[in-house]
Amino acid sequence: MGTALPPPALRRWFRHTIAVAIFLLMVYLSARILRVLSGCRPGTQSCVSEGPLPLQVYPQDQHKSGHLVAPGWEEPQCLGPQGMLGRMTRSFRASLKPEGDVELSQYLAGWRELVRFLTPLGSIVTFAANEAFVKVTALETLVQGPDATHYWSLATMASWERSAGLLGPPGTAPQASGCRTLLLLHRALRWSQLCLHRVATGTLRGPDDAGVQCGDAYRTALAPHHPWLVRQAARLAFLALPSRDRLLELACPAAGEADARAALAGAAGILEQVYNRTQVLLAGNGLLHLA
């Protein structure tokens, strides 16, 4: 019969395990950043839809969702012009063009605000947010560069890069391209949407419930595209996420729990709309195989 570790030793073991997990994940993600910038990536993976997303409750768009909010509900300040969630949702919503396209400048502006929101959530999320920031910056270079007219939207980018030979036929070695970079952001957006939605609407399950819920979102959205070692490292690292109360406080400062949850669910609803639109465009242009 083994001897149980005393509480201090157990805590030290847990901290060391989390540190090793984060280190391994950082090594892997650093390699992915270099591959994105260089266009070098062995093999290909498909980005497949994980099925219909859960319905969201977003008060500012209740006529679209079919969900009603309580009479007299007032929008919290975090959804206003000065609030981080407000700036993020307005940019992402503005990226959805009536003709069914996604405007890249607004999409990237929304991502910048999302990165700002994710950064304080702990080491593992901070590093992932930094990786997303690298991709956002790379795409902004194209959107603002000499070929900017071809990078106005997802559709124009796909058409231009295909005609320029940057995408290549299925099964060929991938090259650096805006479409490939956007696909990786697209998968990360799926995780973000699921994480925010589950934190906003899930049942409280203890002080580390946000880590459990965002870890579940990781297994749905990103784990299928990561090797086993990274999946195990991420599973441990998500345990270090702040509690749901803390995440709600970061999302919507000075708001009560009900208002913060409604605001976070509303933001998740906008991310869902952007994800679904982008998924349709990527699939329609045969771009889900790029990474």
Kindly report the average pLDDT of the chain as a whole number. Answer: 75
Q: What is the pLDDT of residue 187?
A: 93
Q: How many helices (H) and strands (E) does the chain have?
A: 11, 0
**Beta-bridge partners for 171:** none
Whichever domain contains 270, its CATH number is 1.10.3520.10
Residue 157 lies in a domain: yes
pTM score of the predicted model: 0.73
187-216 residue pLDDT tens: 999 989 999 998 888 765 554 477 778 888
What is the band of 262 on the pLDDT scale with cuts at 50, 70, 90?
very high
Of 127-136, 221-230, 266-275, give the range with the top mean pLDDT. 266-275
Q: How many CA atoms lie within 13 A of 43 on its CB side?
A: 5
Residue 146 lies in a domain: yes
High-pLDDT (> 90) share of the chain, %: 37
Dist CA 106 CA 96 (whole Å): 9
Residue pair 201/57 in contact by the 8 Å Cβ criterion = yes
Mean pLDDT, residues 255-269? 92
Residue 37 lies in a domain: no
Parent domain of 197: 76-283
Residue 41 lies in a domain: no
Query: What total number of domains does the chain contain?
Result: 1
